[in-house]
Amino acid sequence: MKLFLDACLLIYLNTVTGEEESHKLYDFYLNLLKDELYIDMLVLDETLYISRKKYGLSYDITLGFLEENILPFVDIIPLERRDFKLMKKYLVDYSIRPSDALHLVAMDKAGCRAIVSEDKNFDKTHVERIWLD
């Protein structure tokens, strides 16, 4: 299955400190590796920004995490000017944030029908949302 990884998963993997929670998250992520995984550049931006702003991690730490644990296993879907029209449609149809609308556009381009995200706003869209139990 083709899955799109939302930034929340990457942020939690990068910042989790509790041993039990860490094992649960990493087991969840390792199970996802059997599928085709995708992100867009916005996911990287959000991961870097939130990891620094909310959790105080340096860009070096988060970049290292991304390079070792995420980028070898995902494809990055490019976004282009022509994607604006569909982003606009998703903003109007689903009343979601612009970045989430762009994630949906990227997913459509790659043929992803599911997103790995805790964001329940995706439940009102045309994709399936997968998250920890």
Task: Identify whether the C-beta of residue 106 lies closer than 8 Å to the C-beta of residue 4.
Answer: yes
Q: In the chain, what percentage of residues exceed pLDDT 70?
A: 100
Whole-model pTM?
Answer: 0.96
What are 84-123's pLDDT values in tens digits?
Answer: 999 999 999 999 999 999 999 999 999 999 999 999 999 9
Instruction: Please enumerate in sequence order all residues whose Cβ is within 8 A of that of 107, keeping only pairs 6 or more positions apart, or say none.
Output: 4, 38, 77, 113, 115, 127
Domain ranges of the chain: 2-130
Q: What is the 3-state secondary structure (H, E, C) of 102-132?
A: HHHHHHHHHCCCEEECCCHHHHHCCCEEECC
- Pairwise CA distance, residues 85 & 63, whole Å: 32
- Residue 67 · residue 30 · CB < 8 Å: no
The class level of CATH for 2-130 reads alpha beta
Condensed to tens digits (0 to 9), the pLDDT of residues 14-61 reads 999 889 889 999 999 999 999 999 999 999 999 999 999 999 999 999
pLDDT for the residue numbered 133: 73
Backbone angles phi, psi at 130, to 5 degrees: -120, 135
